[in-house]
Amino acid sequence: MAVESTNILEEVTSGEYKYGFITDIDSDSIASGLTEDVVRYISMKKNEPEWMLDFRLKAYRHWLTLEMPDWAHLKIPEINYQDIIFYSAPKSKKGPESLDEVDPELLKTFEKLGIPLEEQKMLTGMAVDAVMDSVSVKTTFKENLAELGIIFCSFSEAVQQYPDLVRQYLGSVVGYRDNFFAALNCAVFSDGSFAYIPKGVRCPMELSTYFRINAANTGQFERTLIVADDNSYVSYLEGCTAPMRDENQLHAAIVEIVAMEQAEVKYSTVQNWYPGDKNGKGGIYNFVTKRGLCKGRGSKISWTQVETGSAITWKYPSCILAGDDSVGEFYSVAVTNNYQQADTGSKMIHLGKNTKSRIVSKGISAGRSQNSYRGMVKISPRADNARNFSQCDSLLLGDRCGAHTFPYIDINNDSAVVEHEATTSKINEDQLFYCNQRGISTEDAVGLIVNGYAKEVINKLPMEFAVEAQKLLQITLEGSVG
Amino acid sequence: MMREFVKTYTSLYKEHEDTLNRSSVPLLNQQRSNAMERFDQMGFPDNKREDYRHLDLTAVLEVDYGMNLKRFNIPSNPHDVFRCDVPNLTTKLMFSVNDQFYPNEKPLNLPQGVLCGSLAELSKTHEALLAPYFNQLAEQSLDGLVHFNTAFAQDGFLLYVPENVILDKPLQLIQILQGPEEMLVQRRLLVIMEKGSQAQLLLCDHTLSPNRFLVNQVSELFVADNARLEYYELEMSHAATTRLSHTFASVGASANLSQNGMTLSNGLTRNNIEVHLNGSNSEANLSGLALVENEQFVDNHIWVDHAVPHCVSNQLYKYVLDDQSKGVFSGRILVQQDAQKTAAYQSNRNLCMSKESKMFTKPQLEIYADDVRCSHGSATGQMDETAMFYIRSRGIPEKEARLLMKFAFAADVIDNIHLDPLKDRMRMLVEKRFRGELARCAGCTAAQCS
């Protein structure tokens, strides 16, 4: 039994990244390094209005004064920001008018990723905005959505066409002063998605973005802004992949969500950036700032994430519960293997009365990886009757990995009820034995148990994503998961 | 700001180095200059440091304290002014006034080989025995306050229990704070339990004069293989007392350490407890109870380090917060690589009784081994209204019902006390405290501090 599980865990480390192909497309990149000129160049390239450039420059100047944060439980090798290419776009003459005009190589890339745009369009009825390197390639189903008044387009398009909306909300949740990576993103972000759901509209389909880093040495800095007006509902999906490369690549994104009165936003992520090889070489540094603002009364923001990729993950999707009776949720499965490191969790800031939040975090570590949960629940003095429940479980596969929990609980109001629970253990031998005894191989049994362990979170994902998430869990823990 | 305070004390040190050394002993003196260097490097912790996030020492350090560097004699006899009347608790009673051990009038009649009393006095005859222990754990600390203590401490309390000696009666050390002016007190404790020995030690903190006190205490506990130490700390001081305590423990194989810290009345309290489980099959039980009101502040920082396999640790910390009081709990469990079969549990429960009270908790797990059972839980809330309703429906008035519930909340920490008479006494004190009958120690006099 013991020998067998060692073998299986060894196999785990041989699990390979299945999305590591490089697409051969001409891309339009600038020289590496970051200067004020680069910021101006990006802005010019995107034909941006004056206020956008100001925003970028303010952020860039602020970024220069900041230092890389070192409080996370991560070993981050020194990043030389002058070696990174801050802008890279697939070359094309103009924006594509229809799918036929999109570079066929590019379409093939998305096909390999499992999001054939054509098929998506016809079968699933899901609207996809695909971001490759730093530029949004194609947004499907735009017309259908427009009929309902929903705006779903690339960020640069939104800046051109809906400048008032963008200007009103850009930086309102994650300002450029927020943190080191947020400031960097504000300065150099090149594209992303923008969604606006008007009053009373229930978005009939899932909105989805696919991110992919393709060109070598590039950093990806995209920005997503979702605004859900009163009484609206939207479910948003985000997926990411990158090719296999020896050197590390930087991904520093920002996601901002604003939910007005009674609005509900569901944001799901399946993150599968290239995690590096089994010796810890290469991989993406995923330093992301995600935050939702429950602005209106009774609004709700729900984050669901399945984190399987990235060499280093630094990510804390959070909710500011400003409106009375608003609700914040965070469901997460974070899997690390080989030399991956993850420091992820959630922040719930209770400002309004009767606000509720819930955090369910499941960590799985294998190989020599380090997996940390870091979260904060803060109840402000005005937040009467706030309620929070947090549960953070860790599962350890192998004796060289680590699982850590760092919750912060700050309570400034006596009517709050805040609970936090965490457990850390390895796979239950009794459960394994039970499965074995029923004729299920240890490998399959580990798969069953891990899937059961993560079920609570995976169930929160939209159907199409749940299937993919389950597959990813299997790939990441290949060998131990059937 | 903090830098200036450091400067004040480093120049004070330079000026009085000779006085310090002259009125102390080689065991303490030889650590001094090293500790001063470290203190100068690390300084006083400011609240930018992660582990001092909620504690700002600026106001505390601004006070111009007096230090008894020349070791003037203690003016009064604590036996006269102080009577600790835990009924039926027959202890071997000792006193320390500020940072000086008060010599016992009568011999304590301890088994042969046991050393108990003034660290400075005993080191004169037993320096070779104590040198391998003194400052061994504290030296590693990254907290400037610890080295601040080592640089200035001139005396302390020592308990040494030789191999296989079992002390059947608990030892009790009453630590009194008394003085005519604002005082800075550098208290030092050293407890060495040799293999297979057993002891119970109860420390009671009392403040007898109304002026401000800053206590900076460092305790080192060495519990060798198969030994057993029960270590109780009870604080009943007043609002002008600042207690900064640093406890370091090293626990050997199959040894057992219980530590129980209770804060019944205080001003500003910070307890750092660092336990290293260095031998397999060892066990550490840590618990604490803090009852705070007015503007009191209690900050408990616990760190349990599982360095070897097959060890067990438990933490149970409870807070009851009233008025504008503030509580902080930070518990960290570290399970090192290969420390398999570890069982580590941590629980923190808090009752916020008023709108202005604040609670900050940070339970942490840091685990590098896979075959472990570790959990932590933290809950903060109010009284269970259904339980309240149940009690009231039985004809018990609301006020009494609340008291009952509060008392029940505190009960399981008190249950961790293994000295029955002390347990009963604690029950009584806690109840009194909840009823508001216990002196709010502002003008704490001997009679009230019972």
Contact A417, A387 (CB under 8 A): yes
Residue bearing the bigger pLDDT, B240 or A98: B240
Which residue, among B338, B364, B385, would best test binding to A if mutated, counting the most A CBs under 10 Å from its CB? B364
At residue A425, the pLDDT reads 84
Mean pLDDT for all residues in chain A: 80
**Does A409 sit within 8 Å of B50, measured CB to CB?**
no
A417 touches chain B (CB under 8 A): yes
Name, in order, each residue with C-beta under 8 angstroms of B140's C-beta and a sequence gap of 6 or more.
none
Q: What are phi and psi of A149, to 5 degrees?
A: 90, 5
Assign 3-class secondary structure to B124-190.
Answer: HHHHHHHCCCCCCCHHHCCCHHHHHHHHHCCCCEEEEECCCCECCCCEEEEEEECCCCCEEEEEEEE
Residue A464 belongs to a domain: yes
How far is B194 from chain A, CA to nearest CA, in Å? Answer: 34
**Separation of alpha carbons A45 and A30, rounded Å:** 11
Angle formed at CA A374 by CA A371 and CA A378, multiple of 5 degrees: 165
Exposed e or buried b per residue across B16-37, where buried means at least 16 C-beta atoms within 10 angstroms of its C-beta:
beeebbebbbebbeebbeebbe
Which of B249, B363, B284 lies closest to B317 in space, CA to CA? Answer: B363
**Does A424 sit within 8 Å of B372, measured CB to CB?**
yes
CA distances for A198 relative to A149, A261, A262, A323, B41, angstroms:
6, 12, 12, 19, 59
Residue A461 belongs to a domain: yes
Lowest mean pLDDT among A133-137, A404-408, B164-168, B366-370: A133-137
**Does A418 sit within 8 Å of B378, measured CB to CB?**
yes
**Does A413 sit within 8 Å of B365, measured CB to CB?**
no
How far is B358 from chain A, CA to nearest CA, in Å? Answer: 5
**Separation of alpha carbons A43 and A37, rounded Å:** 10
**Does B359 sit within 8 Å of A422, measured CB to CB?**
no
Residue A98 belongs to a domain: yes
**Does A414 sit within 8 Å of B354, measured CB to CB?**
yes
Bin B147: left if φ > 0, else alpha if -120 < ψ < 50, else beta: alpha
Expressed as residue numbers, the domain containing A353 is 2-476
Structure confidence at residue A96 as a pLDDT band (50, 70, 90): very low
Six-digit token string for B194 = 């040799």
At residue B265, the pLDDT reads 86
Name the percent of chain A lying above pLDDT 90: 29
Residue A171 has pLDDT above 90, yes or no: no
Task: Please identify which residue in the block is written with the tokens 């709990």.
Answer: B329
Task: Tell me the mean pLDDT in the region A148-175.
Answer: 88
Which residue, among B303, B335, B372, B380, would best test binding to A if mutated, counting the most A CBs under 10 Å from its CB? B380
Residue bearing the bigger pLDDT, A98 or A423: A423
Select from A398, A409, A424 the Cβ nearest to the Cβ of B362: A409
DSSP H stretches of helix in B54-118: 58-62, 78-81
At residue A68, the pLDDT reads 85
Task: Please identify which residue in the block is written with the tokens 């059961």.
Answer: A452
**Separation of alpha carbons A290 and A282, rounded Å:** 24
Task: Mark which residues 352-391 of B lie under 8 Å from A by CB.
Answer: 352-382
Contact A188, A34 (CB under 8 A): yes
Amino acid (one-letter) located at A376: M
DSSP B210-274: SS-EEEEEEEEEEE-TT-EEEEEEEEE--TTEEEEEEEEEEE-TT-EEEEEEEEEE-SEEEEEEE
CA distances for A390 relative to A302, A358, A377, B378, angstroms:
14, 6, 9, 10
Six-digit token string for A235 = 């479910």
Assign 3-class secondary structure to B259-276.
Answer: EEEEEEECCEEEEEEEEE
Task: Tell me the mean pLDDT in the region A431-446.
Answer: 87
How far is A310 from chain B, CA to nearest CA, in Å? Answer: 21
**Does B367 sit within 8 Å of A397, measured CB to CB?**
no
Which residue, among A414, A429, A450, would best test binding to B if mutated, counting the most B CBs under 10 Å from its CB? A414
Domains of chain A: total: 1
Task: Please identify which residue in the block is written with the tokens 């006193």.
Answer: B95
Block mean pLDDT (10 aa), chain B, length 450: 88 89 90 92 88 89 84 69 59 84 82 91 92 92 93 92 92 87 91 95 87 93 96 90 95 95 91 95 94 91 94 94 91 91 92 87 89 87 86 92 89 88 84 72 34
How far is B315 from chain A, CA to nearest CA, in Å? Answer: 14
Task: Mark which residues 261-290 of B lie under 8 Å from A by CB.
Answer: none
A415 touches chain B (CB under 8 A): yes
How far is B319 from chain A, CA to nearest CA, in Å? Answer: 13
Task: Tell me the mean pLDDT in the region A356-373.
Answer: 91
Angle formed at CA A463 by CA A457 and CA A466, multiple of 5 degrees: 45
Six-digit token string for A217 = 């040495």
DSSP A103-124: -HHHHHHHHHTT--HHHIIIII
Bin B436: left if φ > 0, else alpha if -120 < ψ < 50, else beta: left
Residue A482 belongs to a domain: no
Angle formed at CA A390 by CA A385 and CA A391, multiple of 5 degrees: 155
Task: Find, in chain A, the residue whose alpha carbon is nearest to that of B332.
Answer: A406
Select from B360, B364, B370 the Cβ nearest to the Cβ of A401: B370
Tally: H helices and E strands in chain B? 9, 19
Q: Which residues of A touch B373 (CB under 8 A)?
A: 423-425
Contact A207, A140 (CB under 8 A): no
At residue B325, the pLDDT reads 92
How far is B47 from chain A, CA to nearest CA, in Å? Answer: 15
At residue A104, the pLDDT reads 61
Residue A481 belongs to a domain: no
Q: What are phi and psi of A126, to 5 degrees?
A: -100, 140
Contact B186, B153 (CB under 8 A): yes
Residue A136 has pLDDT above 80, yes or no: no
Compute the residue count for chain A: 482
At residue A216, the pLDDT reads 57
A405 touches chain B (CB under 8 A): yes
Tally: H helices and E strands in chain A? 12, 24
Which residue, among A369, A409, A415, would best test binding to B if mutated, counting the most B CBs under 10 Å from its CB? A409
**Does A411 sit within 8 Å of B359, measured CB to CB?**
yes
Residue bearing the bigger pLDDT, A228 or A221: A228
How far is A423 from chain B, CA to nearest CA, in Å? Answer: 4
Task: Find, in chain A, the residue whose alpha carbon is nearest to that of B380.
Answer: A418
**Does A409 sit within 8 Å of B380, measured CB to CB?**
yes
Contact B378, B408 (CB under 8 A): no
At residue B276, the pLDDT reads 96
**Separation of alpha carbons B413 and B36, rounded Å:** 38
